Amino acid sequence: QKEAEERIRREAAENYGSENYGKLPLNQSQERTGVQRTRIADINASRAGETVSIRARVHTSRVTGKIGFFVFRHQDSTIQGVLQVDEKIVSKGFVKFAANVPDESIVIVEGVVSKPNEEIKSTTVSDAELQIRKLYVVHETLGRLPFSLEDASRCEEEINKEDTQFSRVTLETRLNNRIVDLRTTANHGIFRIQSGVCQLFREFLLSKSFIEIHTPKILGASSEGGANVFEIKYFKGNAYLAQSPQLYKQMCICSDFERVFEIAPVFRAEDSNTHRHMTEFVGLDLEMAFEEHYHEVLDILDELFVFIFDGLKSRFTSEIETVKRQYPTTNFEYLPKTLRLEYKEAVQLLRDHGIEIEKYNTDFYMLDKFPLEVRPFYTMPDPNDKNYSNSYDFFMRGQEILSGAQRVHDPTLLEERAKLHGVDLRTIQAYVDSFKRGAPPHAGGGIGLERVVMLYLNLDNIRRCSLFPRDPKRLEP
């Protein structure tokens, strides 16, 4: 009898404050109280003493006896939470409950901001921690995680050390479990930067009187020669996926839009399994009518890239730092006015000095005037040397990220060039006909978004810069 009484008393004593923790019912929008949450990124020592409520993931937890240490994560911010048994609010039952919440579950935590005894190095908030008062599970993870976020977030330098104790979470494993992988702070940084590149690209072009267009991705004919094109069943017939908006953006020029750009998926049925090829990627395309010379367009492109690089440096400083914490590298160097070399010069330079192009101290340059025969049939020949053309490529850290040219806007010359390239005229008739209605001289280019991000951050694989990459062997998730 006495023993039983004792046990009940003890259990009751252990379970005070049971309203302070637990699992919330499934949110079906039952009520709206207008509650405000604090962002982890906004918590610091100056708020010591304040009670805050955060929604976050359980990044890690370590509980021993009456005390638990948690790391809570929200996007690219982390903070330490301390849960210690006391006599009124935090019962042993509370600590036990919290210890059993699986990593990566989403919780609502109410706590008092306090200054830690010493700087906390393992979290992004280093001068404050949370004394936990309430903890509710919003949504719990089920089953075993494919890897811990701690492992997935570890700095490359740590893993590459000779005596490292850590094994690498491979790219393959990451991509197979992309939803969990994408939660790392580095990945949040990468995709914020990707979003930023698009934003800067548009901001600059809109300020230069460009308009945004949307051209069809389903085509009736495989317009660019037929190789590397995906075929679609289209009702009772067939159709093809656009390999670029090339022909359509030029048609917009023929319709007098003068300056157009598009951000859209591009599809390539290329069986290339390399670090820099995907079967679907995002193209940043533009096309522009000019007055006299295609260098008017090259000048705009030059300004555009400098604007993007400046913008990344000034607006995405913290994201760049976040990515570099996991993938350390040198800063991306560029010049206020981009180095522009002619293909001939560059070849000479390479012959004479090896890769001493580095002496220019830039990770970004343009090559102009490519040999005519290596470019597509719609490339305008150089007026002074028939072996060369009015075409250009841009390079970041030595790899191509943009390809462009003045286009042939004359139907007669276009047919002639197509024949020389062995292109079947019947497949490009609509394209050629566009120029019979009068076309201004024009030039443009296409940029691979993921390549720009990969090379800006000096990452080793383009798949790291695509949310859900597609290649000949990957269609999932």
**Is 296 one of the binding residues for a copy of itself (CB under 8 A)?**
yes
Q: Point out which span in 92-100, 127-135, 186-194, 304-312 binds a copy of itself (CB under 8 A).
A: 186-194
Question: Which of 61, 66, 55, 63 is closest to 24 using CA atoms?
Answer: 55
Q: How far is the CB of 362 from a copy of itself (least distance, A)?
A: 24
268 labelled catalytic = yes
**Which residue, chain included where needed, has tokens 């007055």?**
291
Q: Point out which span in 119-127, 227-235, 303-311, 330-338 binds a copy of itself (CB under 8 A).
A: 227-235
Pick the binder of a copy of itself from 234, 321, 350, 385 (CB under 8 A): 234
451 labelled catalytic = yes
- Cβ atoms of 450 and 465 within 8 Å: the answer is yes
Pick the binder of a copy of itself from 88, 207, 235, 355 (CB under 8 A): 235
Catalytic residue among 37, 168, 276, 325: 276
Pick the binder of a copy of itself from 95, 372, 406, 462 (CB under 8 A): 406
- Contact positions with a copy of itself (CB under 8 A) in 298-317: none
Question: Which of 96, 83, 68 is closest to 11 using CA atoms?
Answer: 96
Q: Point out which span in 91-99, 138-146, 327-335, 370-378 binds a copy of itself (CB under 8 A).
A: 138-146
452 phi, psi to nearest 5 deg: -60, -45
Residue closer to a copy of itself (CB basis): 16 or 191: 191
Angle of CA points 338, 343, 349, to nearest 5°: 85
The b/e string for 98-135 (b: 16+ C-beta within 10 A; e otherwise) is beebebbbbbbbbbebbeeeeebeebbbbebbbbbbbb
Q: How far is the CB of 293 from a copy of itself (least distance, A)?
A: 4
**Which residue, chain included where needed, has tokens 């978004």?**
449
**Is 178 one of the binding residues for a copy of itself (CB under 8 A)?**
yes
3-class DSSP assignment, residue 248: helix
Pick the binder of a copy of itself from 282, 286, 423, 447 (CB under 8 A): 282
403 labelled catalytic = yes
Q: How far is the CB of 213 from a copy of itself (least distance, A)?
A: 6
Q: Point out which span in 167-175, 340-348, 375-383, 396-404 binds a copy of itself (CB under 8 A).
A: 375-383
47 labelled catalytic = no
**Is 291 one of the binding residues for a copy of itself (CB under 8 A)?**
yes
Neighbours of 408 (CB within 10 A): 26
Pick the binder of a copy of itself from 49, 336, 383, 422 (CB under 8 A): 383
Catalytic residue among 280, 296, 342, 400: 400
Q: How far is the CB of 383 from a copy of itself (least distance, A)?
A: 4
Burial status of residue 187 (CB atoms within 10 A of its CB: 0-12, 13-18, 19 or more):
buried
277 labelled catalytic = yes
| Maximum separation of any 2 CA atoms in the chain, in Å | 108
Q: How far apart are CA 171 and CA 334, in angstroms?
A: 30
**Is 264 one of the binding residues for a copy of itself (CB under 8 A)?**
yes
Q: How far apart are CA 332 and CA 327, in angstroms?
A: 14
**Which residue, chain included where needed, has tokens 């990344």?**
312
**Is 140 one of the binding residues for a copy of itself (CB under 8 A)?**
yes
Q: How far apart are CA 381 and CA 97, in angstroms?
A: 73
Catalytic residue among 178, 277, 421, 470: 277
Burial status of residue 161 (CB atoms within 10 A of its CB: 0-12, 13-18, 19 or more):
exposed
Amino acid at 242: A
**Is 387 one of the binding residues for a copy of itself (CB under 8 A)?**
no
Retrieve residue 382's tokens: 């150089």
Q: How far is the CB of 440 from a copy of itself (least distance, A)?
A: 6
Helices (H), ranges, 234-342: 246-254, 295-315, 317-326
What CA–CA distances, in Å, run from 460 to 6, 129, 156, 477? 64, 36, 12, 21
Pick the binder of a copy of itself from 11, 50, 157, 212 (CB under 8 A): 212
Element (H, E) at 56: strand 51-64
Question: Which of 363, 448, 447, 378 is closest to 415 using CA atoms?
Answer: 378
Q: Are strands 129-139 and 67-74 parallel, antiparallel or unpaired?
A: unpaired
Q: Point out which span in 2-10, 139-147, 338-346, 394-402 binds a copy of itself (CB under 8 A).
A: 139-147
Pick the binder of a copy of itself from 51, 141, 148, 403 (CB under 8 A): 141
Q: Point out which span in 12-20, 112-120, 197-205, 327-335 binds a copy of itself (CB under 8 A).
A: 197-205
Burial status of residue 392 (CB atoms within 10 A of its CB: 0-12, 13-18, 19 or more):
buried
Catalytic residue among 110, 270, 296, 342: 270
Residue closer to a copy of itself (CB basis): 265 or 398: 265
Q: Point out which span in 59-67, 185-193, 326-334, 353-361 binds a copy of itself (CB under 8 A).
A: 185-193
- Cβ atoms of 80 and 121 within 8 Å: the answer is no
- Contact positions with a copy of itself (CB under 8 A) in 3-42: 26-35, 37
Pick the binder of a copy of itself from 46, 100, 164, 195 (CB under 8 A): 195
- Contact positions with a copy of itself (CB under 8 A) in 419-458: 430, 434, 436-441, 449
Question: Which of 396, 400, 341, 403 is closest to 363 using CA atoms?
Answer: 396
Residue count at the site for a copy of itself (CB under 8 A)?
110
- Contact positions with a copy of itself (CB under 8 A) in 49-88: 55, 57, 74-75
Q: Which residues are catalytic?
A: 268, 270, 276-277, 400, 403, 451
